[in-house]
Structure 1
Amino acid sequence: MESLKIKGRIWIETESGLKIGIGRARLLEQIDELGSITEASKILKIPYRKAWGIVRDINANSSKEIVIKEAGGKSGGKSSLTEYGKKIVKKFKTAEECFMKFSEDEMF
């Protein structure tokens, strides 16, 4: 008999309608690390317009701002996560790690 694995995708949701899955969590993580939506979109190989649309959707559906975008002049702007945004990413990563451990522990 072949072994069976538990597979699935997880995401977290808030009452305000915010949904964060692996793709959004990675985008937020890269924005926090690089300070730029543009650079984050390049690293993740997604179009800037799509990344910016995701950021707008995240902020619009959250009870608190998650990504702060500062306009810039010649040197360009800067983007960063609020403390709440960092907390959301951390919660997602914890949930993902728990799910991965569960799926490994429950293989048969």
Structure 2
Amino acid sequence: MMENLKIEGFIWIESSEGLKIGKGRAMLLEYIEKSGSIAEAARQIKIPYRKAWNMIKEMNKNNSEALVIKTIGGKDGGSSELTKEGKRLLLEYKRLSNKFIQFKKEQI
């Protein structure tokens, strides 16, 4: 009977301040880091810009430090980047996610 069972699930991290980061938010942070743009990151993960911006605002609000900072304007337009805290949390999410994936593989 047990040979037909497998472990499935998703991992997310939460803080006592209310911050939640799962696969989607981690992908958004990762693409912001790569592209320097919330709009480009939203296109890459196929979500509307408004949804991406709301996710960023919520993550920044629910953490003691901002995860993403946005600069507005200039001749080349604005840009966005992860803060040191944003990079730290993204790395922590990836580390835990990889551990969970390894755990699932070991249970098969």
TM score, norm. by length of structure 1: 0.95
Corresponding residue number in structure 2 for 1:25? 26
Three-state SS of the structure 2 residue aligned to 1:79 is strand
Corresponding residue number in structure 2 for 1:91? 92
Deviations 1:61-108 (A, max 9, x none): 01111000000134210100001100000000000000000001011x
Counterpart amino acid of 1:8? Answer: G
- What's the CA shift for 1:3? 3.2
Matched ranges for 1:1-108 at <5 A? 1=1, 2-107=3-108
Task: Structure 2: state its 5+ residue gaps.
Answer: none
Q: Pairwise CA RMSD of aligned residues?
A: 1.0
> Take 2:4 and 2:54, find their aligned partners in 1: how far apart are those partners?
41
Q: Which runs of 4+ in 1 moved over 6 A?
A: none
Task: Structure 1: state its 5+ residue gaps.
Answer: none
Three-state SS of the structure 2 residue aligned to 1:68 is strand
Deviates more, 1:7-16 or 1:68-77: 68-77
Aligned residue-pair number:
107
Greater RCO, CA 8 A, separation 6+: 1
TM score, norm. by length of structure 2: 0.95
